[in-house]
Amino acid sequence: MTDLLYMDECYLKECEAIVEEVVDDKIVLNKTVFYPQGGGVPSDTGKIICEGQEYKVSKVKKEDGKIVHYIDKTVLQKGNQVNCTIDWERRYKLMQYHTAAHVFAGTLSTDTGALITGNQIELEKTRFDFNLETFDKEILEKQVEKANTFFGNDHPISISYMLREEALKLPGMVKLAGAFPPSIQTLRIVSIGKNGEIDTQADGGCHVANLKEIPKIEIIKMENKGKNNRRVYFKFVEKSQS
């Protein structure tokens, strides 16, 4: 089992590791800083260095329960010692968008009872799918306004662990329906706000440490795909040059 360093240290940019398995251009490591694609978040990219030779990591995926790194050459061997570095600028942007998505989901579901049915993070925008009886631009604008009162301000984010059965007793703990297979007994809990009052979720992703690090958001587009599939896109507001 690969040790997933990003779970407890979201700001870790590199690590030393040992190659445990090689199949063509795919390698498995004993530990990794690379986040594998999942939960609506794209994977990290970056590089692996072995004996002065550099290999590009183009994507990282979960395959058959393993974390698989796709590299651009196939000469690595089992037992090789490597240095892994993620593309930090990309990761940080994804962490910002992913954390912002938590806050938006938290306020939306608290205020309207909406359930999040899907979420896709990108580098320039994020997409949100949810169910909501009345799909009204004003309601969503109000939610964006509310989320924006948190962004840029001092609200810490913490990570803890909880037994699955205890966690699922708490209301609103798993907003993304069906996200966690029963085989996972201990859930990683991400809490935003001093007591998790802004959002508390069972979640395996990477987040910033404080909402101070998140810019304000704005809606780019709304789509109505039926009562159970409302869709909204938002992006960060660019700071004006003035």
Q: Which 3 state secondary structure label does DSSP give 48?
A: strand
Strand pairing class (3-4; 26-29): unpaired
Which range in 4-12, 48-56, 166-174, 199-207 contacts Zn ion by CB under 5 A?
Answer: 199-207
Closer to Zn ion by CB, 129 or 203: give it.
203
Beta-carbon contacts of 47 under 8 Å, excluding residues fewer than 6 positions away, are: 54, 55, 56, 57, 84, 85
Buried b (16+ CB within 10 A) or exposed e, 52-88: eeebebebbeeeeebbbbbbeeeebeeebebebbbbb
Closer to Zn ion by CB, 106 or 205: give it.
205
Q: What is d(CA 211, CA 94) in angstroms, rounded to the nearest whole number?
A: 14
Closest approach, Cβ 102 to Zn ion, in A, equals 5
Closer to Zn ion by CB, 38 or 50: give it.
38
Closest approach, Cβ 136 to Zn ion, in A, equals 27
Closer to Zn ion by CB, 6 or 55: give it.
6
Closer to Zn ion by CB, 44 or 203: give it.
203
Count of positions on this chain that bind Zn ion (CB under 5 A) = 2
Buried b (16+ CB within 10 A) or exposed e, 180-196: beeeeeebbbbbbbeeb
What is the crossing angle of helices 88-112 and 137-150, to 10°? 120
Closest approach, Cβ 7 to Zn ion, in A, equals 11
Closest to 37 measured CA to CA, from 120, 117, 93, 118: 120
Which range in 26-34, 77-85, 176-184, 196-204 contacts Zn ion by CB under 5 A?
Answer: 196-204
Question: Under the criterion CB under 5 A, does residue 36 sit at the interface with Zn ion?
Answer: no
Question: Under the criterion CB under 5 A, does residue 203 sit at the interface with Zn ion?
Answer: yes
Closer to Zn ion by CB, 36 or 205: give it.
205
CB atoms within 10 A of CB 211: 24
Question: Under the criterion CB under 5 A, does residue 205 sit at the interface with Zn ion?
Answer: yes
Closest approach, Cβ 139 to Zn ion, in A, equals 24
Closest approach, Cβ 60 to Zn ion, in A, equals 17
Q: Which 3 state secondary structure label does DSSP give 81?
A: strand
Closest approach, Cβ 99 to Zn ion, in A, equals 7
Q: What is d(CA 236, CA 214) in angstroms, rounded to the nearest whole number?
A: 8
Which range in 51-59, 109-117, 198-206, 228-236 contacts Zn ion by CB under 5 A?
Answer: 198-206
Which range in 172-180, 197-205, 222-230, 234-242 contacts Zn ion by CB under 5 A?
Answer: 197-205
CB atoms within 10 A of CB 38: 14
State the residues that interact with Zn ion by CB under 5 A: 203, 205
